[in-house]
Each structure stands twice: as C-alpha cells, then as structure tokens.
Amino acid sequence: MSISILVLVVVIALVVMVTRLYQADNSTVVSALSKIGISKTIAPVIPDTTIALEPAITDSTDSTNNAISETSTTTTTSTTTSTSTTVAPAAAGNDASCIRLAQCQFASLNEVDFSRLQLESIDFSAATLIYSNFTSANLSSSQFIRADLRRVNFSGADLSGVDFTAAVMIDTNLEGANLTGAIFCDVDLTTVTGTNEAQMAKIKKFKSKVNTYCP
C-alpha cells in the first residue's frame, strides 16, 4: 500500500514538473520535451514598439514676446530744430536759397523774414520782395536796383551803401535804418515811411558826383 502511494506521489510530481516546463518559453525546455514525445512551439517575442510621447514644452516668455511684437507697435517721432543765421525761412512758393550764392536777381521773395540776418553785398536787383521783413538786418553794400520793395520793413536795418536805384518803395518802412551813403537814384522818396531829416541828409540821390542823372 505504501509503495502505491509513493508511486502516485512521484507521478503527480512528474506531471507538475512537465506542466511547468511546458508553460516555459525556453529552447532548452522544448528540446527536452521533444525527447519524451511532447511538442511545443515557442511563441515569437514581439518587441514593444510603443513610443512614449513627451508633452511639448512651450516657452511662455517667447510666446508672450511674440504676441506683444505682433499686436503692439511703438512709433517714435524725433523733432529736429535748426537755426540758420544766413538763410531766411521762405514763405510758401518762395526760394531764399539764392542768399547762399549772394545772387537773388529776379527772385520771388515775397513775405520772407530776413530779420537780423547778415546779408552784406547781396544782389536783389529786379527781385520781388513785397511785405518782406528786413528788421535789424545787415544789408550794407547790397543792391536793390529796380526791385519791388512795396511795404517792405527795413526798420533798424543797416542800409549803408545800399543801391536802391529805380526801386519801387511804396509804403516802405525805413524807420531807424542806417542810410549812410545809400543811393536813392530815381526813387520817389515821398512814398517811403519812417524817415527823418538826419537820415535823409546821409543819402545819395545820384550814383556819383560826375553823373548827376540816374541811369
């Protein structure tokens, strides 16, 4: 009786061992099982091809900066102020650039502000200067031959040696101007304003002592 039980235990142990070996996927086990008449196929191992995707990282600083640059525009306006002591600011339609060359013959310079400028020896012959302002300007030895000087303001200006031959000087203001040696040949002095006897005593009504007539 005890022998039968022992045999049964051995058989059960063998069955358990064979069952475990059968469940194991190993080439050595398969070879051993095949020797005792048990066939087993090893299931191919399929590699795990799952790719873990990392969450995209967004630079909040760059995004914020880009958003600001796309939606916000800053405009800076710089203002440059320049002051010239030789060229007067011209009114609309006038060209005062001729002052640089001292050649303003036939120029249209109406309503230009020449006040306090240094304009010695400038040729304004036949120029139109209606309502222009020469207050306190230095015009010594300049020429206004046949120029249109209607309502021009020469108050306080240095007009010494200036040639006004045949100029139109209706309502031209000469108050306080230095007229020493200024030539008013063929000019109707009754139409000018602001003059006094002391000023008029210093002017020339003719171009020279030899030539007593105006050209």
Q: Return the sign of the alpha-carbon dihedral for residues 176, 179, 184, 190.
A: positive
User: Model-level pTM greater than 0.85?
Assistant: no
Tell me the per-residue pLDDT of 85-122, one tens digit each, with 9 for 90 and over.
445 554 444 677 898 888 999 999 999 999 999 999 99
Closest CA to 200 of 187, 191, 189: 189
